[in-house]
Chains A and B, each alone.
Chain A
Amino acid sequence: MTSTADLETQIRERIFAFPTPHFLGVDALNRPVAEQLLALADAFVAVNRQNEKKLSILRGRTLVNLFFENSTRTQMSFELAGKRLGADTMNMAPRTSSIAKGETLIDTAMTLNAMKPDLLVVRHSASGAAELLARKVGCNVINAGDGWHEHPTQALLDALTLMRAFGRVEGLTVAICGDVLHSRVARSNVGLLQTLGAQVRLVGPPTLMPAGVERWGADVFHDMRKGVAGVDVIMMLRLQLERMDGAFVPSTREYFRFYGLDAEKLALARPHVRVMHPGPMNRGVEIDSGVADDPAVSLIRDQVEMGVAARMAVLASLSARGEGGN
């Protein structure tokens, strides 16, 4: 087995400067860059499977997680990614601090900026919030989800998961199912999967589809049975509970009946079909437990593992570029 130190040497040779000062959306990535980033992330997977996981690539750098919206999973993933690269990481949940006292997003960012972090990871409930921050701070900003807009590292980790499961992304047919309207995961995935040469389908009730979705270059299905027929991958989206109960769909049981992924609908896909979910899952609402937990089918736990590696690749590459916004 290769030692961590050897791995680090190999990885350092692969690190390249990120094309933009910030990673706000998947449109920052063209195909060669996306593939380079995936290759780098793949190398980090090996590191994460070692006993000794700590590298020194980001030693001396400071990473701040600024999460205006709760997300244990994404926040931990970034924190771990930063720590494994040797950075000092810090979490800030403004919900419980200054924001409650009326401080604005920009004030918080400016305060943080004055402490000279190198990398700022932002999650916010409003679309465009990461963009706004990136214009005001002097470090590299990573969008960890802004409203309904983008969640680019999620798309990257999904692509990495597919790359490792299928050996390629090109030519795969991927059905993204559920609440596309409110989903930043869907927007980022449509963009990146198409860049990498996959065929994307969008499946869901018309009340949960954005206007003009037919112009996203994806085939749109309102009948899930038709939507998943013959696909290689089914990517389920989370349905917020407050959007059921008559607001966008009549009830959870009606939703599960028509848009929940169960063994019967799964059987319509290709025999080797794999299932993904960005988490956290609503079992029995959008996905049946039997499907979610079937190791022969489910890639859901792989996604979590790949999340750390994909984020390490983004952090390393952005740091190699340096020079944030200003």
Chain B
Amino acid sequence: MPQSQPTAFINARLVDPESRYDGPGALVVAEGVIADVSRRPRFENLSADLRVVDCAGAMLAPGLIDLRVKTGEPGAEPKETLKSASRAAAAGGVTSIVVQPDTNPAVDDPAMVDFILRRARDIELVHVYPAGAATRHCAGERMTEIGLMREAGAVYFTDGDHSIVNSKTFRRILTYARTFDALVAHRPADPWLTEGACATEGEFAARAGLPASPAVAERIMLERDLAIAELTDGRLLVDQITTETALETLHRFRARGVRALATASINHLCFNEIDTGDYRTFYRLDPPLRPESDRQALIDAVASGLVPIIVSAHAPLPAEDKRLPFSEALPGAVGLETLLPALLGFHHESRASLIDLIRAVTLAPAETLGLQAGRLSAGAPADLVLCDLDAPVRVEADRLISKSKNSPFDGRRLQGQVLMTLVDGRVVHQASA
């Protein structure tokens, strides 16, 4: 379908988190944007040059915006390139990805930000937004050119999987970033309590004989991060909150007006430590999987809005990094292609409403980054996903588009097949019939 040809999607189930509308409708896409939206299944008098797609009741929603995606580019291309990640995203109905800066070399100066953006333009699939490193080489010591990188197009600042241990450095980054109203993301984990650990301390890890860190390791660092956010009035994105005790901390600081938002990874919403079973390394994640009580607390926090954003935490790893004893395997899971079906599965088994879950992967991240996408309103970019909510899918890791196949959903049955993905009105993925 050429970009210029206007298209009408009729007989759709529109799910729009902005207007909180979930019901029948139709929508016209023209010149890369949503030109018209109707709450009737079809338009009265459609112009003849419109191409018509009959959605047959499938869900038409804003394309997903994933705030945390790792690729291997630059430096570890066999794991994942920007192109393979983009193709995986398109197949999963994800139309915008924020790629992490802890690559090799790190995305820690404006030229590297520009490199990512140029590569994304050449690939021309989904929107790729670079996150910039908060410190040079993500080493946690010296601040990067936050202002220049922001001008170049970095959407937030983080050291990715690396902790910024030095509180003085962290304070200065948040203080300085405020000048540009830049968002700083940080994963809360006490570096000493989590050193060498690959599981959450408790009965499960003790019986399995796995080196473990206590859940409070997350809260301890979060208390520091939020206290510094309060001190500096900086904008903080809490990267992948996972424990009940840290959620209580977040709630307390949010109630005081601290400008902090948190994300949850789909993995921590879907799995608990017991899924690790007999040392299955696809469940070796960082942060590690938690006990069921933490998972339930996280589900509640997503439902209540305390944690408004859900990410895939896409972290591609080749077989040689996973075919190892559990404690020696590298942590992480791919997730771009399974985010939406997993979310739908999660919707079916929990009390979370579809529109709230869609909001957590569309409008909420869009608002966080100041993007116009993530909503179904006239004038918004035509970043869309068409998904058959009732189609059962069985995840087979070997058939994933991602270069790495480390999916904890391997072999699981999920619900929801992506039929079509559009970015700026272009079809970037279409399911084979």
Is the CB of B50 closer than 8 A to any CB of chain A?
no
* Inter-subunit contact A126/B323 (CB<8 Å): no
Q: Specify which of A124, A211, A215, A216 is in contact with B325 (CB 8 Å cutoff).
A: A124
Which chain B positions have C-beta within 8 A of A128? Answer: 208-210, 278-279, 325-327
* Inter-subunit contact B209/A149 (CB<8 Å): yes
Is the CB of B203 closer than 8 A to any CB of chain A?
yes
Q: Within the complex, what minimum Cβ distance (angstroms) separates A237 from chain B?
A: 14
Is the CB of A320 closer than 8 A to any CB of chain B?
no
Q: Which residues of B contact A (CB under 8 A)?
A: 201-203, 205-212, 214, 278-279, 320, 323-328
Is the CB of A129 closer than 8 A to any CB of chain B?
yes
Q: Which residue of chain A has the shortest Cβ distance to B281 in the bound complex?
A: A132
Q: Which residues of A contact B (CB under 8 A)?
A: 104-106, 124, 126-129, 131-132, 146-150, 184, 187, 210-213, 215-216
CA distance A187 to B208 in the complex (A): 9
* Inter-subunit contact B325/A212 (CB<8 Å): no
* Inter-subunit contact B326/A106 (CB<8 Å): no
Q: Which residue of chain A has the shortest Cβ distance to B278 in the bound complex?
A: A131
Q: Compute the total of residue contacts between A and B using a CB distance below 8 Å.
A: 67
Q: Which residue of chain A has the shortest Cβ distance to B200 in the bound complex?
A: A211
* Inter-subunit contact A127/B209 (CB<8 Å): yes
Q: Within the complex, what minimum Cβ distance (angstroms) separates B190 from chain A?
A: 16
Which chain B positions have C-beta within 8 A of A105? Answer: 324-325
* Inter-subunit contact B201/A129 (CB<8 Å): no
Q: Specify which of A184, A211, A212, A215 is in contact with B209 (CB 8 Å cutoff).
A: A184
User: What would 27 A/B residue contacts be, using CB atoms closer than 8 Å?
Assistant: A104-B320, A104-B323, A104-B324, A105-B324, A106-B323, A106-B324, A126-B326, A126-B327, A127-B210, A127-B279, A128-B208, A128-B209, A129-B325, A131-B279, A132-B324, A147-B210, A148-B210, A148-B211, A184-B209, A187-B209, A210-B205, A210-B206, A211-B201, A211-B202, A211-B206, A215-B203, A216-B207
CA distance A141 to B24 in the complex (A): 59
Q: Which residue of chain B has the shortest Cβ distance to A126 in the bound complex?
A: B325
CA distance A105 to B212 in the complex (A): 23
CA distance A105 to B329 in the complex (A): 12
Q: Which residue of chain A has the shortest Cβ distance to B207 in the bound complex?
A: A187
CA distance A126 to B320 in the complex (A): 16
Which chain A positions have C-beta within 8 A of B202? Answer: 211-212
Q: Within the complex, what minimum Cβ distance (angstroms) separates A101 from chain B?
A: 15
* Inter-subunit contact B208/A127 (CB<8 Å): yes
CA distance A210 to B209 in the complex (A): 9
